[in-house]
Amino acid sequence: MDIDEEIIKLAEVIILKNALDYNGKARLDSVISKILGSKPEIKTQIKNIIPKVKEILEHINSLPIHEQRDLLIVKCPQGLEPKKVIEKNESQLPPLIKAELGKVITRFPPEPNGYPHIGHAKAAVIDQEYAKMYSGKFILRFDDTNPLNEKIEYYDAIMEGISWLNIIPDLIKNTSDDIYLLHDYGKKLINKNRAYVCTCNQTTIHDLRSKGIPCQCRKDSEYNLENSDKIFNGYYHQNEAIIRFKGNMNSNNTVMRDPTLFRIIGSSHPKRGEKITLWPTYDFAAPIEDSIDGVTHALRTKEYELRNELYRLILNILDMRVPEVIEFSRLEFEGLPVSKRKLKPLVEDKKVEGWSDPRLPTLMGLKRRGITPEAIRRFVLSLGITLSETKPSIEILESFNRKIIDSKSKRLSFVNVPFKITIKNAEPKEVIFKNHPSLEMGYRKINVKNIVYISNQDAEKLKVGMEIRLIELYNIKISWIDKDKKEGIAEYTDDILKENIQKIQWVSEQDSIKYKILKPNKLFIGDKFNSNSLEILEGFAESFVTTLSADTMIQFIRLGFCRIEDNKSAIFTHK
């Protein structure tokens, strides 16, 4: 039996969507039930259809995720649209375990060692959203215990990013505020014989850890508390000694093999100066801080999973309250890494313009590109807190953004690589354009004398003798054309709307200005930086654009949405 083409098309789209929802692997049972859900009438034939569906499914499952996504765009362009925009206060986050209304406390703990990016936005939005959901509290805590990497500039950038996201923390603090308290807890662990000063060199430590063998310092520690006083009193210098947790050197979880709790860092702390040199690691500071801050639910990204055992044990030994620890996946985009580790070299090697380069997924970069904080929030919440590591496409963020800016953006004309057309026998004309085709956004007037510019791309198709319509203006017939000089001459024919002639966009010479659009493209191709990642479009825009202030979102017809940067340029946001 021949299976209906329509059913096959439907099956392909359902399989692709299912695969993209579940880490690239669609499941036959859920695909079949979805097919039946949309076409109940084929129930009697389903047995005949299954083998074919299975064949398509196996093929699709064998493709890399980016190919699945490309296929879905081809087969069903609207298939990548977010399922449903989250209504105000209606979050898609699942309930928190052991959460009580009014008592939930969450925190976002960035290290001020770089500029905030969309991954941080994910963590911050989810934390804040949970606090809101349970009428609880949200803390912004700078986890600043490595003065080597931290700078005031980064604290400020994070504060700015958080406030741009419209997140207002109930409390803002620094882990470094509690440094002496953290020292006290360190001393307590030593006194309980659950931590010790280790003076082995780094190679020995590394070597013994990998072999699972305790070092002499650990063995001696019970009799030798002297070193503890020394390390707290500043006797040792950087790399001469550390404090280690007395864990289990045989543990299969290598994190438990006597991890570092404190190390000596010589550089001056941006908030505390140079007096303090003994700084806790994240492994020690995070559980203590979460516990004393009253955090009930500590959300962190999945890579910390193996550290949870240590987190809980430290608090148990110190008889401190243990928060619930919840993991979620790190956000990464296809072709656009977010981590500081990958972005910093691009900034340092000047491959991009700085941290606010519109190609970057930093909050400053996204803002400059014209992505709204509301779109980021909706996007992040639409991802939920799954552990699955699928890399969403940036197009999903863009489609949330489009929904927000579409109704606020005036539509204007820009011609890329202008081609000049002089119209003989044309009467000067004033055309009135609506600023938005369907919404009430006012009008603008455009004066046309006898010269217009069209884009070179449109001009490529022109031939002498051809009649075209200049959109909303009139019809002209090409009488002479020089494609090298990018010039042509035409004659006015009439104003009648004709079905079968090309309709071409234009700007009037009289009412236009030289204009530049920066268009960010994929930052990476595979693992390599894309040296063509910033395209520059140069042409003419309607001079009306200069009446709009910087940061205004507009839509250049046929090109896409842009954010106005200044009087002469804009940044391309997305289609």
Active site members: 111, 330, 340
Of 391 and 469, the one with the shorter C-beta distance to ligand ATP is 391
The binder of 109, among Mg ion, ligand ATP, none, by C-beta within 5 to 8 A per type, is ligand ATP
472 near Mg ion, judged by CB under 5 A: no
Q: How far is the CB of 169 from ligand ATP (least distance, A)?
A: 14
CA 370/CA 561 separation, integer angstroms: 8
CA 122/CA 300 separation, integer angstroms: 11
Which residues ranging from 312 to 331 are in contact with ligand ATP (CB under 6 A)?
A: 330-331
With contact defined as beta carbons under 8 Å apart, do 520 and 534 qualify? yes
CA 428/CA 426 separation, integer angstroms: 6
Contact with ligand ATP (CB under 6 A) among 339, 407, 457, 502: 339
DSSP states of 154-184:
HHHHHHHHHHHTT---SEEEEGGGGHHHHHH
Q: How far is the CB of 111 from Mg ion (least distance, A)?
A: 4
Of 111 and 374, the one with the shorter C-beta distance to Mg ion is 111
Q: How far is the CB of 261 from Mg ion (least distance, A)?
A: 18
340 near ligand ATP, judged by CB under 6 A: yes
Contact with ligand ATP (CB under 6 A) among 96, 104, 109, 310: 109
The binder of 369, among Mg ion, ligand ATP, none, by C-beta within 5 to 8 A per type, is none
CA 54/CA 40 separation, integer angstroms: 19
Q: Which stretch binds ligand ATP (CB under 6 A): 43-51, 110-118, 164-172, 431-439?
A: 110-118
Number of shown-chain residues binding ligand ATP (CB under 6 A): 16
Beta bridge partners of 514: 540
Contact with ligand ATP (CB under 6 A) among 69, 122, 137, 271: 122
Q: How far is the CB of 113 from Mg ion (least distance, A)?
A: 6
Q: How far is the CB of 29 from ligand ATP (least distance, A)?
A: 31
391 near ligand ATP, judged by CB under 6 A: no
Of 162 and 415, the one with the shorter C-beta distance to ligand ATP is 162
Of 38 and 166, the one with the shorter C-beta distance to ligand ATP is 166
Q: Residue 314: name the closest of 280, 348, 344 by CA.
A: 280
Instruction: Mark 313-352 with x for binding to Mg ion (rule: CB under 5 A) and - for no binding.
Output: ----------------------------------------
Residue 410 CA: distances (Å) to CA of 371, 402, 436: 16, 13, 6
Q: Residue 561: name the closest of 547, 575, 551, 549 by CA.
A: 575
Of 114 and 520, the one with the shorter C-beta distance to ligand ATP is 114
Q: How far is the CB of 138 from Mg ion (least distance, A)?
A: 20
Which residues ranging from 96 to 125 are in contact with Mg ion (CB under 5 A)?
A: 111
C-alpha distance across the termini of the chain, in Å: 43
Residue 244 tokens read as 């280690």
CA 428/CA 511 separation, integer angstroms: 12
The binder of 341, among Mg ion, ligand ATP, none, by C-beta within 5 to 8 A per type, is ligand ATP
120 near ligand ATP, judged by CB under 6 A: yes
In sequence order, what are the residues at sequence separation of 6 or more whose Cβ sits closer than 8 angstroms to the Cβ of residue 220? none
Residue 33 tokens read as 């039930």
The binder of 120, among Mg ion, ligand ATP, none, by C-beta within 5 to 8 A per type, is ligand ATP
Of 341 and 528, the one with the shorter C-beta distance to ligand ATP is 341
308 near ligand ATP, judged by CB under 6 A: no
Q: Which stretch binds ligand ATP (CB under 6 A): 117-125, 189-197, 423-431, 465-473?
A: 117-125
Q: How far is the CB of 136 from ligand ATP (least distance, A)?
A: 18
Residue 285 tokens read as 């500071």
Q: Tell me if residue 51 falls in helix, strand or coil.
A: helix
CA 526/CA 404 separation, integer angstroms: 31
Residue 413 tokens read as 């004309």
Residue 204 tokens read as 């020995």
Residue 122 burial by CB count (10 A; 0-12/13-18/19+): exposed, middle or buried?
Answer: buried
Q: Which stretch binds ligand ATP (CB under 6 A): 166-174, 337-345, 485-493, 551-559?
A: 337-345
Q: How far is the CB of 382 from ligand ATP (least distance, A)?
A: 14
Q: What are the φ/ψ torsions at residue 304 (nearest 5 degrees)?
A: -90, -5
Contact with ligand ATP (CB under 6 A) among 218, 300, 359, 378: 300
Give the torsion through C-alpha atoms of 194, 198, 200, 205, to 10 deg: 40
Q: Where are the beta strands (DSSP E) in 505-567?
A: 507-508, 512-520, 524-525, 528-529, 534-542, 553-556, 560-566
Q: Tell me if residue 206 falls in helix, strand or coil.
A: helix
Contact with ligand ATP (CB under 6 A) among 32, 35, 71, 110: 110
Q: How far is the CB of 161 from ligand ATP (least distance, A)?
A: 11
CA 354/CA 335 separation, integer angstroms: 19
DSSP-derived secondary structure letter, 200: -
119 near ligand ATP, judged by CB under 6 A: yes
Which residues ranging from 341 to 370 are in contact with ligand ATP (CB under 6 A)?
A: 341
Residue 546 tokens read as 């200069």
Q: Residue 150: name the closest of 174, 169, 125 by CA.
A: 174
Longest Cα–Cα distance of the chain, Å, equals 104
> Contact residues for Mg ion (CB under 5 A)?
111
Residues that bind ligand ATP (CB under 6 A): 109-111, 114, 119-120, 122-123, 300-301, 330-331, 338-341
